[in-house]
Amino acid sequence: MTDRHTADSPRWRGINHLAMVTPDMDATVRFYHGVLGMRLVSTLRAGPLRHYFFEIGPQNTIAFFEWKGAPTFTKPAGVPRPEPTQFDHLSFNLPDEEALLALQKRLGAAGCEVTKVVDHGIVHSIYFNDPHGIALEASWWALDATGRPEVDYGDARFFADPSPVPAVDELAQDRTLAWLPATTLAGEAITDPV
């Protein structure tokens, strides 16, 4: 077996974005920005879907697609559920276009199907799957949404959703939110999964 970790290995820089699904983007903005204190760094449209990004560290974000009517469930931490659970995809962060193209070539050389580079405006990405079908992406910040000290909610490069949820309008007006969602735990017993 060949050791694939060499000088030409990808220069991973964390999670560019973890893509999750929400049925209500307004409540999501109010919770992730208002309650958890994560900066809302971009509001985009992916076809008909809203696609919003929250900063969790330099060049690392959690992102949500708004799927109206998507089923939700509550699951205690560390407790298995009989139903399958799924998120949208995981995006690994790379430093630049050169690293993205090198990874694309590396995947192709290993016999993996990989997309062409997709320009999303703020990020450039390639898409591929792991051997079990988990949807993966590798991205680099063409316009670093997390690297701005003060967020301008009117900046069309980062906030391109033409009809943002009410929470974004509130942040653009006075940087405060009118209400914040409360949450509850999903059961009495929280177990150690180990």
Spans of all domains in the chain: 15-69+87-174
pLDDT in tens, 86-135: 567 889 899 999 999 999 999 998 899 999 999 999 999 999 988 767 78
Contacts of 103 (CB under 8 A, 6+ apart): 10, 94, 126, 138
Query: Cα Rg for the chain, rounded, in angstroms?
Result: 18
15-69+87-174: CATH number? 3.10.180.10
Counting Cα atoms < 13 Å in the Cβ hemisphere of 10 gives 21
Q: How confident is the model at residue 161 (pLDDT cuts 50, 70, 90)?
A: very high
Q: Say if residues 20 and 62 touch (Cβ distance below 8 Å).
A: yes
Residue 189 pLDDT > 60: no
How much is the mean pLDDT over the chain?
85
pLDDT in tens, 55-90: 998 999 999 999 998 887 766 656 677 776 656 788
Contacts of 73 (CB under 8 A, 6+ apart): 81, 83, 85
- What percent of the chain is modeled with pLDDT above 90? 45
Tokens of 68: 């109206």
More confident call, 132 vs 14: 14
Which DSSP category does 100 fall into?
H
| pTM confidence score | 0.70
Residue 194 pLDDT > 70: no
